[in-house]
A and B are shown apart, each in its own frame.
Chain A
Amino acid sequence: MKQSLKLAGLATLMMSVSAIPAMAQEKIKVGVIVSLSGAGAVLGQQARDGFNLAVKDLGGKMGGKDVEVIVVDDELKPDVAVTKVKGLLERDKVDFVVGPIFSNILGAIHKPVTENKTFLISPNAGPSSYAGKECNPYFYVTSYQNDQIHQILGNVAQKRGYKKIYLMTPNYQAGKDFVAGVKMDFKGEIVEESFIPLGTLDFQAELSKIASMKPDAVLTFMPGGMGVNLVKQYKQAGLLDRIPFLSTFTVDESTLPAQQDAAIGMFGGSNWAPNLDNAANKKFVAEYEKAYNSVPATYAFQAYDAALLINSAVTAVKGDMSDKTKVIAALKKADFPSIRGSFKLSNNGYPVQDFYLTKVAKRADGKFQTEIVEKVFSNYADRYAKDCAAQ
């Protein structure tokens, strides 16, 4: 131990001698870290493509400087993500990190990025953990605070007068957030809070139980492959005609190609949908479909907005990234036209926006998408923002 202490001291000395003051960079560098392999690959691809599309629309420039985008794959492994993000920070010296998709990866990279005083823009993960006391001026979210999406379902269930509902979610933190989110507005009876082990693919046992309990509605949060399976099996079990299915992150454009007809008529909660009626969004959806041959989901549009947010800040400081407080001030203004329409940032860096109930439909061209049914919340800020000491 003593030996390595000495060595460490010696080496630290040498390192500090060699540290050359970072020279002003000619380019704006953005590192994109998303899951491109493993179970979440589709979501990561959507985010990457959405971001690249925005950079293309901006003519490859932000604030008059060229933009260099470096994409890395976190492999959905927290320790791999930490190493890769250190590469972005220290080897590539990026000005912004955009990512990740999943909350557990965010938990691993949040600290190294923000401690390095580099800006972290999450195009999807928005856990409560960084929204309140632990908020950080280097962390921004272009999606939502996770609870809000779940709250939509509880709110709708309450408004529709459902008396007893059945909750189903994977057994992990985000699942517990789902239950808490639903309970915020729903006051009726919850006949079952079913926590499913992560990675479960066959829901038949659960569906049998639902059929026998006959709730007024099933509310669920079942992301990725689990959701694909649940939706198909729900339809196969003949439940869709009998018990309404309300979900978050379960039926969206990333899973619909696999769910197809089985998902038609299912409800979701969202901050956006491809058919949201405004010119910027129509242009985005058309361009995205043309470039990547698939219907964009929220991951793509939120990454697109992340690029616009970065551009607004870089433009405001005229490409000079040296004064971080100015960049922070510019980011907080969020002075850009979001393709979701109304958009602001709270003091905690999380959005203030509208939320909708959506429904799956088949388009005239045979593809599937979610479509807006009704607006549930307007200009809605998350409930943790008040705990964030505004910096």
Chain B
Amino acid sequence: MTLTLALVQILNGLQFGLILFLIAAGLTLVFGVMDFINLAHGVQYMVGAYFVAAFTAMTGGFFTGLALALPAALIFGLLLELLIFRHLYDRDHLDQVLATFGVIIFLNQAVKFVWGAAPLNVPIPDALSGAIEITDGLLYPVWRLIIIAVGLLVGLALYLVVNKTKLGMLVRAGASNAPIVSALGVNIRLLFTIVFGVGAMLAGFAGAMIAPILSVEPGMGDNVLILAFVVIVIGGIGSIRGAFIAALLIGLVDTLGRFFAPTLLRALLDPSAASQTGRAIAPMLIYILMAAVLFFRPSGLFPAKK
């Protein structure tokens, strides 16, 4: 029983990690290729969730809602790029941070203005709302298994595009040295727009997939943003492979840490002290992990820049 429970927790960690990967993948590409720190990436995730909530309510079905939300997230991302971000590419990182922070402030309030402060509900499609019985009494929701499958598929697709296509070659080249790529006559503007669009859509997609599980509310992207940054920094900026591994690592460490830390400490301390210390340590684990990784590998696990 304990073993099954541990396996289920590993599954939970994987699922959390894959959602993080969907968000971090776009962020690491935009940062790596365009050298652009986009703090607004988290609100793009939020906007994706709001779009799917709005379109699902409008059309009555999750999948039609999703089908409309994805292009909407793409258009929204490109609109932001055209209006604001495009003017920030040749600015220093601090200007980028400040302007994209302005976008966060605006959008967090704007969704509240449009949809109200109350969290929105997105129902899971009926056929997928059940749970699978793993062992006696231990159920696992089908929707979460779908998230795991979709996350793995997107990861595979990104891997193939980045490693096996011409576009992917340009992206990799851009991540390791953008000025040279530009000097070689590649339309770097177009490349930037494609990368940015894909990143925005992936973030929106992650928001849409998580919407049936989490409440859709203003500010839902803020903490996810920080976690996504932790992921791309541990993985090495610009590296899809790094983001994938780091996202799973964070997902597993966080989930298993919360589960096992109090239990493990019980061997060393008395029960109440153990659970108190465990509770204090568990949320710190991912930051301790990041500090440790950066201590030994100051540019992350898989640095894209040479």
A sample of 5 more A-B contacts (CB under 8 A), given A208-B5, A258-B120, is: A195-B275, A204-B15, A232-B121, A232-B215, A259-B121
Residues of B within 8 A of A211 (CB): 137-139
CA distance A208 to B141 in the complex (A): 10
Please tell me if the beta carbons of B119 and A255 are within 8 angstroms of each other in the complex.
yes
**Do A42 and B279 touch across chains, with their CB atoms under 8 A apart?**
no
Of the residues B5, B124, B137, contact of A214 by C-beta under 8 Å: B137
The distance in angstroms between the C-alpha atoms of A163 and B66, with both chains bound, is 45
> B112 an interface residue at 8 Å Cβ cutoff?
yes
Contact with B along A214-225 (1 / 0, CB 8 A): 100000000001
Our pick among A42, A193, A261 for the contact of B118 (Cβ within 8 Å) is A42
A sample of 13 inter-chain contacts (CB < 8 A) reads A37-B109, A41-B112, A204-B144, A205-B13, A208-B8, A208-B12, A211-B139, A212-B5, A212-B138, A225-B220, A228-B217, A233-B141, A261-B123
Interface segment out of the listed A64-72, A147-155, A234-242, A281-289: A234-242
List of A residues within 8 angstroms of B214 by Cβ:
201-202, 229, 232
Residue A294, interface by CB 8 Å: yes
Residues from chain B with a CB closer than 8 A to the CB of A45 are 117
> Residue-by-residue, is B9-39 near A (CB-CB < 8 Å gives 1, otherwise 0)?
1001101100000000000000000000000
B156 at the interface (CB under 8 A from A): no
CB pair B219–A39 under 8 Å, yes or no, is yes
- Tell me if B130 counts as interface (CB < 8 A to partner A): yes
Query: Which residues from 194 to 243 on chain B have a C-beta closer than 8 Å to any C-beta of chain A?
Result: 212-220, 223
Q: Complex formed: what's the CA distance from A41 to B217 in Å? A: 10
| Interface contact B213-A233, CB-CB below 8 Å | yes
A38 within 8 A of B: yes
Using CB atoms, name the residue of chain B closest to A202: B16
B118 and A258 contact, CB distance less than 8 A = yes
List A contacts of B131 (CB < 8 A).
236-238
Q: When chains A and B are docked, how far (Å) is the Cα of A29 from the Cα of B266? A: 56
**B163 in the interface (beta carbon within 8 A):** no
Q: Is A188 an interface residue (CB 8 A)?
A: no
C-beta contact mask, A169-212 vs B, less than 8 Å → 1, else 0?
00100000000000000000000010101010110110011011
Assess whether A205 is in contact with B139, with CB atoms less than 8 Å apart: no
Chain B residue contacts of A294, Cβ below 8 A: 118
Chain A 229-265: CB-based contact to B (< 8 A → 1; otherwise 0)? 1001100111100100000000000110111110000
Contacting A at CB under 8 A, from B263-306, are 275, 279, 282-283
Q: How far is the CB of B299 from chain A (nearest CB, A)?
A: 30
Chain A nearest Cβ from B280, distance in angstroms: 9
Q: How far is the CB of B260 from chain A (nearest CB, A)?
A: 10
**Residues of A with C-beta under 8 A to B12:** 202, 204-205, 208
How many residues on A have C-beta within 8 angstroms of the other chain's C-beta atoms? 39
Which residues 109-164 in B have Cβ within 8 Å of A in the complex? Answer: 109, 112, 116-121, 123-124, 129-131, 137-141, 143-144
A250 to chain B, nearest CB (A): 12
- Check A205–B141 contact: CB distance below 8 A: no
Any A CB within 8 A of the CB of B1: yes
Q: Decide: A258 and B216 in contact? CB cutoff 8 A.
A: yes
User: Which one of A171, A193, A208, A261 has the highest number of Cβ atoms from chain B below 10 Å of its Cβ?
Assistant: A208
Residue in chain B with minimal CB distance to A41:
B117
B279 near A239 with CB under 8 A, answer no
Whether A257 contacts B119 by the Cβ 8 Å rule is yes
Closest Cβ of chain B: how far from A254's Cβ, in Å?
A: 7
* Min CB gap A339→B, angstroms: 23
Residue B100 at the chain A interface, CB threshold 8 Å: no
In the complex formed, the residue of A with least CB distance to B112 is A41
* Of B118, B255, B279, the contact of A171 (CB 8 Å cutoff): B279
Task: For residue A203, give the distance in angstroms from its CB to the closest CB of chain B.
Answer: 10
Q: In whole angstroms, how far apart are the Cα atoms of A258 and B213 in the complex? A: 11
A254-B139 in contact (CB<8A)? no
Please give the distance in Å from B82's CB to the nearest CB on chain A: 29
Q: Does B165 contact A (CB under 8 A)?
A: no
Also in contact, A228 and B215, with CB within 8 A (given A208-B12, A214-B137, A236-B131): yes
Known: A197-B283, A238-B139. A258 touches B8 (CB 8 A): no
Taking a contact as CB atoms under 8 Å apart, the answer to whether A237 and B215 are in contact is no
For B9, the chain A residues whose CB sits under 8 A away are 205, 208
Decide: B215 and A197 in contact? CB cutoff 8 A.
Answer: no
- The smallest C-beta distance from B111 to any residue of chain A, in angstroms, reads 11
Cα distance A193–B8 when bound, in Å?
21
User: Which of B112, B121, B131, B220 lies at the interface centre, i.e. has the most chain A CB atoms within 10 A of its CB?
Assistant: B121
B-chain residues with CB within 8 Å of residue A236 when the two chains form the complex: 124, 129, 131, 141, 143, 213
| Residues of B with C-beta under 8 A to A229 | 213-215
Whose C-beta in chain A lies nearest to the C-beta of B130? A238
Contact of B279 with A254 in the complex, beta carbons under 8 Å: no
Say whether B4 faces chain A, with CB atoms less than 8 Å apart.
Answer: yes
Which of A39, A42, A201, A260 contacts B121, CB < 8 Å? Answer: A260
In the bound complex, CA of A20 to CA of B298 (Å): 63
Chain A residues with Cβ under 8 A from B118's Cβ?
A: 42, 254-255, 257-258, 294
User: Using Cβ atoms and an 8 Å threshold, which residues of chain B touch A260?
Assistant: 121, 123
* B13 proximity list for chain A (CB < 8 A): 205
B259 within 8 A of A: yes
B255 neighbours in A (Cβ, 8 Å): 205
Chain B residues positioned under 8 Å from A195 (CB to CB) = 275, 279
Query: Which one of A36, A171, A238 has the highest number of Cβ atoms from chain B below 10 Å of its Cβ?
Result: A238
Closest-CB distance, B72 to chain A (whole angstroms): 21
Determine whether the beta carbon of B5 is less than 8 Å from that of A258: no
**Residues A42 and B124 in contact, CB atoms below 8 Å apart:** no
Chain A contacts for B129, CB-based, 8 A:
236
Q: Is B223 in contact with A199, judged by CB distance below 8 angstroms?
A: yes
Choose one: B119, B258, B275; the contact of A205 (CB below 8 Å): B258
